[in-house]
């Protein structure tokens, strides 16, 4: 699997080298297979349990869910959220990061904040993807599976926010929790991104 060269600054960064950069102590400008595996490990329990709940009623009903998941994480979320991410500006026709690895980059890069409607679509997509299995779990009274499913979804989002969203270079994402001083350090090295946020960085 391919990832960006960890020794080379990302496309939006004006630094010559990542050596001695304090930003990388907090932010993830580069991604590794370990990051991807960590993400897959935290997200997969909710998908496996949700899929089991749907399958218990009808195996065919998994197909619309899979189409929803692929359509959302492969195209819609990429347009409304990832197209604002500095990583999106990097070379290549697909994403090489910890989440959405391999999703095609068919949209143009849009540095700067997400619009109200982009945020709305982003959250509606999440609600549909993780809400679809709920319909089957509730209507079939699969109470034990329902409780465990809800716990895995909650556990996923809590882990995501704590360990990934706190280090993510996409400040446009509504889930991003990077502190302002760290954002400022990143903006200093990525002036085009700063400009899109209408932040004037003086050198």
Residues that bind ligand SF4 (CB under 6 A): 9-10, 13, 15, 18, 21, 23-24, 29, 81-82, 85, 87-88, 95, 97, 99-100, 168, 170, 173, 186, 189
CB of 64 to ligand SF4, least distance (A): 24
Which sign, positive or negative, has the C-alpha torsion 110, 104, 65, 176? negative
Minimum distance, C-beta of residue 50 to ligand SF4, in the bound complex (Å): 20
Shorter beta-carbon distance to ligand SF4: residue 58 or 94: 94
- Min. distance of Cβ 31 from ligand SF4 in angstroms? 7
Q: Please, which residues bridge with residue 94 across strands?
A: 104
> Between 70 and 151, whose beta carbon lies closer to ligand SF4?
70
CA distances from 137 to 62, 93, 119, 130 (A): 13, 38, 28, 12
Give, in order, the Cα–Cα distances in Å from 139 to each of 21, 55, 64, 132, 184: 53, 13, 18, 12, 49
Minimum Å gap between C-beta 79 and ligand SF4 is 11
Token pair for residue 11?
């496309």
Smaller CB separation from ligand SF4, 97 or 146: 97
Instruction: Closer to ligand SF4 by CB, 87 or 110: give it.
Output: 87
Other Cβ atoms less than 10 A from the Cβ of 57: the count is 15
CB of 153 to ligand SF4, least distance (A): 18
> 104 has which bridge partners?
94
Among the listed residues 29, 133, 135, the one whose alpha carbon sits nearest the alpha carbon of residue 89: 29
Of 100 and 152, which CB lies nearer to ligand SF4 in the complex structure? 100
């Amino acid at each position: 699997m391919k990832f960006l060269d960890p020794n080379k600054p990302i496309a939006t960064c004006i630094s010559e080298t990542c050596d001695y950069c304090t930003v990388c102590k907090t932010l993830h400008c580069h991604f590794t297979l370990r990051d991807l595996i960590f993400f897959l490990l935290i997200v997969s329990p909710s998908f496996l349990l949700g899929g089991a709940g749907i399958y218990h009623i009808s195996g065919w009903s998994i197909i619309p869910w899979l189409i929803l998941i692929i359509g959302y994480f492969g195209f819609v979320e990429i347009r409304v959220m990832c197209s604002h991410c500095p990583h999106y500006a990097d070379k290549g026709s697909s994403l090489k990061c910890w989440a959405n690895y391999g999703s095609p980059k068919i949209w143009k890069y849009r540095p700067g904040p997400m619009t109200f409607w982009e945020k709305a679509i982003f959250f509606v997509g999440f609600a549909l993807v993780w809400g679809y299995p709920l319909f089957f779990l509730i209507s079939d009274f699969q109470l034990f599976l329902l409780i465990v499913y809800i716990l895995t979804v909650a556990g996923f989002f809590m882990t995501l926010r704590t360990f990934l969203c706190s280090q993510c270079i996409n400040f446009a994402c509504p889930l991003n929790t990077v502190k302002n001083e760290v954002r400022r350090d990143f903006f200093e090295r990525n002036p085009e991104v700063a400009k899109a946020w209408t932040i004037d960085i003086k050198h």
